[in-house]
Chain A
């Protein structure tokens, strides 16, 4: 530090490191400033969260009065996120347990690369797969039961399947790390006391890794709620569906969520209507921030360090 080159290097590198902080503060500041504009133009917070009439540009009404009810979009995001996490969690943790405690090293050598490659598959490619495989399959299976065969197959059901495919590798690889962090001595102690392999996993390994496994699920949720293109392609809705039909129909007919609406309509919006999309983005931003805080909380509670 006594040498000028060292001081210069140190300063430049510090500036690089501070970039991260600047960017995240910028994201919260800029989106936050825009997000509240809409509440000065006729929207109320309860109306935004719970009403289901979304038309921020006022295109649907004769005198151009906008409607800011994002309830239907928020509900869509919640349903597909929770649905996909409920299905993906047992599969991912099962797969992670299989890889850490059951399979042979040879199988692990085959599986790990598949998992890594799959984490890198672009979301739009999964969306394409969903559109050409999952949607027609669902249409063939449940099309006649939903009343409208032509549009059947799109919607929450297809979105949940696509999201399961996308978050499975994420949850699995974080779960594997959590299970690996449980010391071998814990496993040995359990086996030495006469537990079978399955009892060892269920009564010792999984409880010991619980915090890490929960972190994996929360991070999977964070990925699911922000996922855009794949979900947008298979939701394919243009308005919130009417609620006076069986729940089954709602699941397998075109529907909407937050990201899908932003992806499709943000480009053509302007002025006050555009601000409403920034409000939606801010809702996503806050939700994923909450997920981060929760996952940090969880990962600080480790049973074995």
Chain B
């Protein structure tokens, strides 16, 4: 009896050691893989980030694409944030019927799952052709808004629901209307989370590419450095795609220059995303600290 029990326990310990060892192995491999990829991309491209020609519009410069990315970032965020925040406020503060909230959540979940490329084709049908905007920055921005709307909505909803209910009750007890409570109590309390959400959606705008392929095009004209929203143009990501893939050898760049464009853009994108993440994290920390102080 005793030996059987020792055996059983022994086997348990062996499988436990093996199992935990397996999990450690998986975690180490994945961590090395991820860090390896980021390190590789930085290592290949970081040297070009200190080259002024890289940011210009001549030779292998990506000045136009950089400008397009920033332009698109601002334009799409200006369109997206009010709508997403408004929708989130409605769903959390005003909506009374459960069915409506559920329907909108289902719509948002479905929209969030639509592949970026498919939304791009939808953008071609509706913004480029139906609204007659052509292949342009505004068409690209509108398609991006559709893509980011469910994502921003969910984050904003989380931000607003995280505001303690007592604050609202206090305002209502003092006779404030719903809107007055939202404007003076809820939104200011949720502000840090709202900023974090803005950073996270910006991250997605900068990294997004498939939705822009046909709504904004792959070619940046010579007058790209203007504010005209009817111009087509490539962003950092779509330019990187074009130079690496379908457009390789047709862009008038030498192979070495193509490598500078692709390796440099990849490193620049990673740098920006790292900075945004750190920034979002710092703000998040500031929030949890101020909450802990209360």
Contacts and interface: CB of A to CB of B under 8 A. Distances in A.
Contacts of A3: 177, 179
A262 B270 contact: no
Interface stretch (A40-48, A67-75, A181-189, A219-227): A219-227
Contact of B91 (A17, A25, A27): A17
B26 A124 contact: no
Interface in A257-274: 259, 262-264, 266-267
Of A120, A259, A285, most B-chain CB atoms within 10 Å: A120
A228 B82 CA distance: 29
A6 interface: yes
Of A23, A102, A267, A277, most B-chain CB atoms within 10 Å: A23
B214 interface: yes
Nearest to A259: B117
Nearest to A114: B34
Contacts of A31: 118, 121-122, 125
A297 interface: no
B94 interface: yes
Contacts of A50: none
B179 A225 contact: no
Contacts of A122: 206-209, 237, 269, 273
B159 interface: no
B210 A125 contact: no
Given A17-B87, A97-B23, A263 B270 contact: no
A288 B113 contact: yes
Interface string A272-305: 0000011001001100110110001000000000
A285 B245 CA distance: 25
A20 B89 CA distance: 14
A228 B15 CA distance: 41
A38 B240 CA distance: 33
Given A102-B23, A125-B269, A226 B118 contact: yes
Nearest to B218: A267
Contacts of A30: 122, 125-126, 130
Interface string B174-213: 0001111010000000000000000000011011111001
Of A1, A18, A24, most B-chain CB atoms within 10 Å: A24
Interface stretch (B35-43, B49-57, B162-170): B35-43
B115 A284 contact: yes
Nearest to B44: A132
A138 to B, nearest CB: 16
A114 B26 CA distance: 15
Given A16-B87, A122-B209, A98 B27 contact: yes
Interface string B18-50: 111011101101110111011011001000000
A153 B210 CA distance: 24
B12 to A, nearest CB: 5
Contacts of B107: 20-21, 23-25
B77 to A, nearest CB: 15
Chain B contact patch, size range: 35 or more
Contacts of A16: 82-87, 90
A198 B111 contact: no
Contacts of A99: 27
A94 interface: yes
Contact of A199 (B12, B26, B117, B150): B12
Nearest to A15: B86
B23 A125 contact: no
A165 B153 CA distance: 27
B31 A114 contact: yes
A144 interface: no
A34 B204 CA distance: 29
Contacts of A15: 86
A201 interface: yes
A13 B107 CA distance: 17
Contacts of B83: 16, 19
B119 A27 contact: yes
B86 A233 contact: no
A13 B213 CA distance: 32
Interface string B140-161: 0000001001100100000000
A187 to B, nearest CB: 14
A25 B126 CA distance: 13
14 contacts: A5-B177, A13-B89, A13-B90, A17-B86, A17-B95, A20-B104, A23-B149, A27-B146, A91-B29, A102-B20, A128-B244, A201-B19, A229-B245, A278-B125
Interface of B: 12-13, 15-16, 18-20, 22-24, 26-27, 29-31, 33-35, 37-38, 40-41, 44, 82-87, 89-91, 94-95, 103-104, 106-111, 113-119, 121-122, 125-126, 130, 146, 149-150, 153, 177-180, 182, 203-204, 206-210, 213-214, 218, 237-238, 240-241, 244-246, 262, 266, 269-270, 273-274, 276-277, 281
What 3 A-B pairs have minimum CB-CB distances, sorted nearest first? A226-B115, A16-B86, A122-B207
